Amino acid sequence: MFCYQCEQAAKGTGCDAIGVCGKQPEVADMQDLLVYALRGLAQYALEARKQGIVDKEIDVFTSKALFSTLTNVNFDKDNLAEWVRKTVALRDACKEKLGVTLDGPAAFVPGSTLDEMLVQAPQVGLKSEPDVNPDILSLQHILLFGLKGVAAYMDHAEILGQSDPEVYAFLYEALTAPLNEDLGLDEWVGLVLKCGEVNLRAMELLDAGNTGTYGHPVPTPVPLGVKAGKAILVSGHDLKDLEAVLKQTEGKGINVYTHGEMLPCHGYPELKKYGHFYGHYGTAWQNQKKEFAAFPGAILMTTNCIQKPKEEYEGAIFTSGVVEWPGVQHIADGDFTPVIEKALALPGFTEDAPGKEVLVGFGRNAVLGVADKVIEAVKGKALRHFFLVAGCDGAKPGRNYYTEFVEKVPSDCVVLTLACGKFRFFDKELGDIGGIPRLLDVGQCNDAYSAIQIAVALANAFECGVNDLPLSMILSWYEQKAVSILLTLLFLGIKDIRLGPTLPAFITPNVLDVLVKNFNIMPISTPDDDLKAILG
């Protein structure tokens, strides 16, 4: 195996024995083989489009299959082998319909057994082409990892009825691009930035799905304590699964809690209306083993971020969506009866344990609803600067930087945040500026579109570009959705981004030099030095 798609790549270069995420070598290899099979499916999907045929089944399947290869999603090698078989079956059906025969990945024949597939996988993995120019290979991998992020957003959007065939057309274009040996560095840079453009559209579709289905988030206090009674904990990112759990538990005496990136769900009107949707339990994904072991109810992992379940709760955890873990019961049909039955069988919380509250619900609608106060505060010099401190959390040392940074942000500045990186400081009491909270939770990593729209709207209000705003972006990354968001920011021309805790292992010095020269992207240093450089 060789994998370096996440920030925790072993030794800063890549995992080659076992994934730091817990991914076994066979799982990594099967993910590589699935990507290769998807390149072959993409060849035929592009050919179909040339003939005026758009196959929605292939579109939806491709996004789900790519999503399943994202970090901390699918750890089941047998299930991944089934994804490979389905990919080839769809490809062959498309081939028969079109009446053409293509070569390369389009002609790939998977082994009939898992063991045979595992022999094939190293031939098509990330290190299978040692003769490719290292900088071009770096850009190819940046594109691939960005595509995985786009696929994740499209899967969420499709679940809520939002789609765009042009997004899928780009997935196919990008998946097949490595087959074109005539593409040079400039063309690859262009494809990487185009991935950022397409990801913006994917995030827009997801935003439309979330807000169109559940309403625009509104500022909402969320209790961090617990309530006596049976309990279900919902983690991941999927709003529709959460809604289904809420509907199916009505009147059953079960309180539903969020975990991790589900915290912002408390701000959606159509979710917060459920009286048994109580509060938030725990923090970020990397702490789940300790937090899940202490939770006295059933646990549902709806999307990426799962870790190997501990023995203490392995019989109480369930998965849905594209998440798979060997031996963990998967809910594929939206019927969460097994989760409910497990919650009723477990003790639940025996007594109330009140805790502090945190505010969520500051999506673009809420923030722009008080834009006049924001503009007045800036013009009156009561509000000096905005910091977007956002991104993924993780276990690797160096992430305390973000806690210290927020703690040291001056009292005349506002911090906007989104994604699970917020759990480094989400319960800090920073006060307000003229009634505007100094800590504004914009939402999940899936809500990055909202943060972008806030920045664009403020730039329009001040009649300047986003880069001219008193706004600095301090980002943390971990997995491939963060890669796609970063590519979107670069596509939009946003400069001076500070990125940490480390730079991606898949970026070569020459590619990094391009990013520095064109966008002045830079690594984080220390909170004091970075604040001094930004504020003077």
Q: Specify binding-site residues for hybrid [4Fe-2O-2S] cluster.
A: 237, 261, 305, 392, 420, 445, 479, 481
450's tokens: 């909202």
Q: How far apart are alpha carbons 468 and 532 in whole angstroms?
A: 18
Q: How far apart are alpha carbons 234 and 98 in whole angstroms?
A: 44
If you write DSSP's letter for every residue of 341-376 in order, what string do you get?
HHHHHS--BSS-B---EEEE---HHHHHTTHHHHHH
CA neighbours closer than 13 Å in the CB half-sphere of residue 362: 23
Binding site membership: which residues? 3, 6, 15, 21, 237, 261, 305, 392, 420, 445, 479, 481
DSSP classification of residue 425: T
Judge contact between 81 and 114, C-beta under 8 A.
yes
Alpha-carbon Rg for the chain, nearest whole angstrom, is 23
**Which residues are within 8 A (CB) of 346 and not within 5 positions of it... i.e. 6 or more apart?**
230, 231, 296, 297, 298, 316
Judge contact between 498 and 475, C-beta under 8 A.
yes
Judge contact between 91 and 40, C-beta under 8 A.
yes
Question: What does the buried/exposed string (b/e) look like for 264-289 if buried means 16 or more CB atoms within 10 Å of the residue's CB?
Answer: bbbbbeebbebebbbbbbbbbbbbbe
Q: How far apart are alpha carbons 114 and 119 in whole angstroms?
A: 9
Judge contact between 299 and 280, C-beta under 8 A.
no
Question: What does the buried/exposed string (b/e) look like for 49-82 if buried means 16 or more CB atoms within 10 Å of the residue's CB?
Answer: beeeeebeebbbbbbbbbbbbbbbbbbbbebbbe
* Three-state DSSP class for residue 461: helix
Binding site membership for [4Fe-4S] cluster: which residues? 3, 6, 15, 21
CB atoms under 10 Å from CB of 493, counted, come to 12
